[in-house]
Structure 1
Amino acid sequence: MALPVILLTVFIIPTGIAGIANALPDIAGDLGSNPTALQWVVNGFNGSFAVFTLVWGVLSDRVGYKTTFVIGAALMVAASVVSAVAPNLVVLDAARILAGAAGAAIFTAAASIIANAYEPIPRGRNFALLGTVLGLGLAVGPTLAGGLVAAFGWRGVFAVFAVIVALALSLSGYVPNIKHERVAGTKLIDFSLLRNPHFLAICLVPVTHAFGYVALLTYLPIALSAVHGIDAGTAGLLMLPMTLPVLFGPILGARLVARFAGITIMTIIYGSLVLMLLGNVGFLLLAGTAPVAALLIPMLLLGFGFGLPLGLLDGAAQAAVPARSSGTAAGVMNFLRLGGEAVVVGTYAAIVAWIISLHIADGTTAQDVAAGQAGHAREYSQAFAWAEWGIIAFIVIGGLAIVLLHLTTIRDGKAAAVLDGEDDIPVERPAIA
């Protein structure tokens, strides 16, 4: 029963990221279209999540993963309730920052409990399920939010979050109480794990995915509104080709690794980066105001590119470090994951808004267009194209860094094998059972 409770709570984190972006045009219509304040509705969550994963990473190793989970769930309920009744953007932004801190506690505890409470075979399966739930949240987030916005307004999204997490919190008695004895000299924020090239390579995958997928996942509904005049409910449905593959990809990736000896985790990672690069090149079609149907193939490529390794990454990161550092590893990885997303999403929005302001003289109109107002498709498309070229460049840079770190891991593995006098030299460290 523990795993369903954990996964139910984790579900809210990606849903909150992907879904809230779809509600931004309606939030802007209700509370104002100030671009900085609107960006903080999304980035306040992401930035807070990134910072607090470092804190919760080490604290969870000390106070226990169940305690961390319960604290995070309670804070998430409170933040969601405040968000649902927020009278202005300032209160909403503050609530989203609190929600990010809560999400950090929940996800850190979830990864650490799975890493420590299960034997190798079920552990690998459960990490795949964790990835599937992350994919499910991303997959249904825009559609769920769009439906809730259409039915109840944007406040209904946060009300549903509060109910779901409150249900999971009421069942937290099933979550096992696990913690490690404190190791003398342990730092509150410890990046020393990044000296391990294998761990660093795994951590850079979600950072690269932040450029290649999460930025578009967050702001594509706004682009569809600005370029094609599509409302939130319809935009949520149109996002399905990009999000549904994220639901099926994690299980598929884990099964491929488990079933075929020639397919490793790094094979899946490299394949995902290629798919992501091709998908973003295809998305440049939107810059030419192509029909929405023309985006089907790029959306599918991005969905599978993001989804295939999603069920493998957290298990791979945990396997690369000692068990006593499980929480710290989760904290560092999620700091890079969500920190990367916060920086990328914020930068993407700022660049698009800035380029639009260069082409639309009236500042108020430019802000409205950046928030998704239809009527200036050409100006938004130009800004979108420049942002896409930046995304493509960073996918290439991130991919090259991952390749170099993987080669370093192979080289170090061979050197260690020679020193040990082994005949069979391992060329890749196994990440999950």
Structure 2
Amino acid sequence: MNPAPSHVASRRDKLLILLTVCLAAVLLPLALSGGAVATPAIGRDLGGSPASLTWVTNAYMLSFGSLLMAAGALADQFGRKRLFVIGLGGFIVSSFAISLAPSVFWLDILRAIQGIVSAASLAAGSAALAQEFDGHARTRAFSMLGTSFGIGLAFGPLMAGTLIEYFGWRSLFITTGAIAAVAFMFGVPRMRESRDPNAAGLDYPGTVTFSATLVLFTTAIIQAPESGWGSPLIVGLLAASVVTLVAFIMVETRARRPMLDLSLFKYVRFIGVQILPLGTCYSYILLVVMLPLRLIGAEGMSEMDSGLLMIALSAPMLVVPIAVASLTRWASPGVLSGLGFLIAAAGLYWLSLVDFSASKTALLMPMLIIGIGTGMPWGLMDGLSVSVVPNDRAGMASGIFGTTRVAGEGTGLAIGTAILAALANTSLAHRVPEGGPELSARVAEAAQRLTNGDIAAAAAALPEVSRHALSLSYADAFVGLLHVLIVITLLSAFATFAFLSRTRTQGDGFERDEKGVEAVTRA
């Protein structure tokens, strides 16, 4: 038999596998940004408390981030194809189920499930690509994977907005489920099964304590504006999160094969790398979620127009990460990342000066500057995560970085929402006469409704304040939030310069003897 057809078929299968994994990668940021764009429409249709509507986005991010590394361990143990099938199949089922959700409560539960299966599909899909491609082909495959994330981030709000405006919010989840089903049908049959014969299995105590810490802390942050920071519920949740964090550290330091090897944190440059995803979270991810809420709910823009405007923020993610990689021949990735944060901070400051009630075109340039600035560390931080540790620790370093990235985004969203709610509460309190606990409770509820971009519900909760005054309070609170984000972004820039300005390529400065490692640890 002529071997040529077999070779062509094998190449076609690999391309279909790559397409399948990349389609899954497009859907993951779409599930994040689409959920944010859909939140006002979901609130109008299903009602729900402000805290429950916040979980539309946070439930997905939290479950995804806390279980990403666990999913990788399960893929190694039980099979990459098997877990990818479970993950992508679960994404399809959960997407269709969300489109049928009868209440915000069930929608939040299903969004958490969607985050779990998304973690499974991403971890197993990445491992499948590493299995199918080698050398330069592997580099190109993972570059396409990163580009797919950029496409989802750039055009997700537009796609979501268009679907919601013309067909309703449920159509968004039906569409994502249908796209995932197409990818499943064409790609999964061509995937090969593989396992790690040396896999030690899942670190169950570490996974449970780590996930519990994130869930308890995030729940406390989201619920605090409604229950009060001094309430027994919030104090108890925060205390419990500290207990589970201590338990997690104790478990991981004693485990033979821990989920997170905490000894890597003895490398100060590795600590510096963990700052990068936190900086991009507060300079970029928060805006991806919170800007549509303001544009749609407070400024009265349609979902489609909001999605079009959001392209200015996210489109740079398609080109800047690739472009900045070529600059590493002349400057270190750490310096370029720090400069990116400075540019993003300048864009955030510019955005804080813009009058949202005027022409929306005034938002384009500051949003573009923020996207360009954030795109610089965004394109370099994955490589930096493995370049600052010895080569034989690169796998674990990448896993810790991925967990820090996604888990930090989940908790960052909760913190940003809580800050905005607190600032809105303070602004509203100055616009109402003195009152008792009942008025204070209504002010707090109105502030949370504003945070979700629902001015109509805020007006119903606080009829003493005109809609114009409510809009002004929201505008003041949003500017205050932008100022907080500017400070965090600038601190991220200074920390990046301090920790990473001399970092260049993988393995630089790492001697394979014990003395060399100690020298780097002290650097």
| TM-score category (smaller protein) | 0.7 to 0.9
State the 1:192 CA deviation. 3.9
Say if 2:451 is the partner of 1:370: yes
Does the 8 Å contact 1:225/1:235 carry over to 2?
yes
Partner Cα separation in structure 1 for residue 130 and residue 333 of structure 2: 18
Pick aligned residue for 1:343 from 408, 411, 431: 411
1:253 aligned partner? 324
Matches within 5 A, 1:206-217: 206-217=277-288
Pick aligned residue for 2:79 from 39, 64, 70: 64
1:154 aligned partner? 169
Q: Secondary structure at the match of 1:332?
A: helix
2:91 aligned partner? 76
Does the 8 Å contact 1:226/1:377 carry over to 2?
no
Q: Secondary structure at the match of 2:257?
A: coil
- Give the TM-score taking structure 2 as reference length: 0.72
Q: Percent identity?
A: 29
Partner Cα separation in structure 1 for residue 314 and residue 144 of structure 2: 17
| 179 and 253 in structure 1: CA distance in 2 versus 1, 3 angstrom threshold | farther
| 93 and 124 in structure 1: CA distance in 2 versus 1, 3 angstrom threshold | same
| 117 and 200 in structure 1: CA distance in 2 versus 1, 3 angstrom threshold | farther
Say if 2:197 is the partner of 1:181: yes
Does the 8 Å contact 2:342/2:490 carry over to 1?
no
C-alpha offsets along residues 18-44 of structure 1, whole Å, 9 cap, x if unaligned? 121111110110111411101100000
1:110 aligned partner? 125
Partner Cα separation in structure 2 for residue 198 and residue 106 of structure 1: 30
Aligned amino acid, residue 272 of structure 1? G
1:352 aligned partner? 420
Partner Cα separation in structure 2 for residue 153 and residue 174 of structure 1: 35
1:399 aligned partner? 493
2:12 aligned partner? none
| 102 and 321 in structure 1: CA distance in 2 versus 1, 3 angstrom threshold | farther
| 66 and 314 in structure 1: CA distance in 2 versus 1, 3 angstrom threshold | farther
Partner Cα separation in structure 1 for residue 301 and residue 447 of structure 2: 18
Partner Cα separation in structure 1 for residue 191 and residue 390 of structure 2: 22
Partner Cα separation in structure 2 for residue 270 and residue 115 of structure 1: 30
- Give the TM-score taking structure 1 as reference length: 0.86
Pick aligned residue for 1:235 from 295, 306, 322: 306
C-alpha offsets along residues 373-408 of structure 1, whole Å, 9 cap, x if unaligned? 353321111111121121112112223333333258
Aligned amino acid, residue 381 of structure 1? A
Pick aligned residue for 1:388 from 472, 476, 482: 482
Partner Cα separation in structure 1 for residue 515 and residue 447 of structure 2: 64
Matches within 5 A, 1:20-99: 20-99=35-114
Return the index of the structure with the highest Cα Rg: 2
State the 1:309 CA deviation. 4.3
Does the 8 Å contact 2:348/2:482 carry over to 1?
yes
C-alpha offsets along residues 154-209 of structure 1, whole Å, 9 cap, x if unaligned? 11111111111122222213334343332663224444444444544434312210
Partner Cα separation in structure 2 for residue 344 and residue 66 of structure 1: 32
State the 1:124 CA deviation. 2.8
Partner Cα separation in structure 1 for residue 400 and residue 475 of structure 2: 36
The more displaced of 160-169 and 354-363 is 354-363
| 275 and 188 in structure 1: CA distance in 2 versus 1, 3 angstrom threshold | same
Higher relative contact order (CA 8 A, sep 6+): 1
| 383 and 295 in structure 1: CA distance in 2 versus 1, 3 angstrom threshold | same
State the 1:120 CA deviation. 3.6
Q: Secondary structure at the match of 1:182?
A: coil
Mind listing any 5+ residue stretches in structure 2 that lack a counterpart? 1-14, 201-255, 429-438, 456-466
Partner Cα separation in structure 1 for residue 193 and residue 307 of structure 2: 39
1:430 aligned partner? none
Partner Cα separation in structure 2 for residue 28 and residue 96 of structure 1: 15
Q: Secondary structure at the match of 1:46?
A: helix
Does the 8 Å contact 2:338/2:492 carry over to 1?
no
| 417 and 58 in structure 1: CA distance in 2 versus 1, 3 angstrom threshold | closer
Partner Cα separation in structure 1 for residue 83 and residue 379 of structure 2: 22
Say if 2:153 is the partner of 1:138: yes
Say if 2:330 is the partner of 1:262: yes
1:307 aligned partner? 375
Q: Secondary structure at the match of 2:320?
A: helix
2:401 aligned partner? 333
Partner Cα separation in structure 2 for residue 122 and residue 91 of structure 1: 43
Aligned amino acid, residue 190 of structure 2? Y
Does the 8 Å contact 1:53/1:332 carry over to 2?
no
| 157 and 328 in structure 1: CA distance in 2 versus 1, 3 angstrom threshold | farther
Does the 8 Å contact 1:111/1:314 carry over to 2?
no
The more displaced of 260-269 and 390-399 is 260-269
Q: Secondary structure at the match of 1:11?
A: helix
Aligned amino acid, residue 173 of structure 1? P
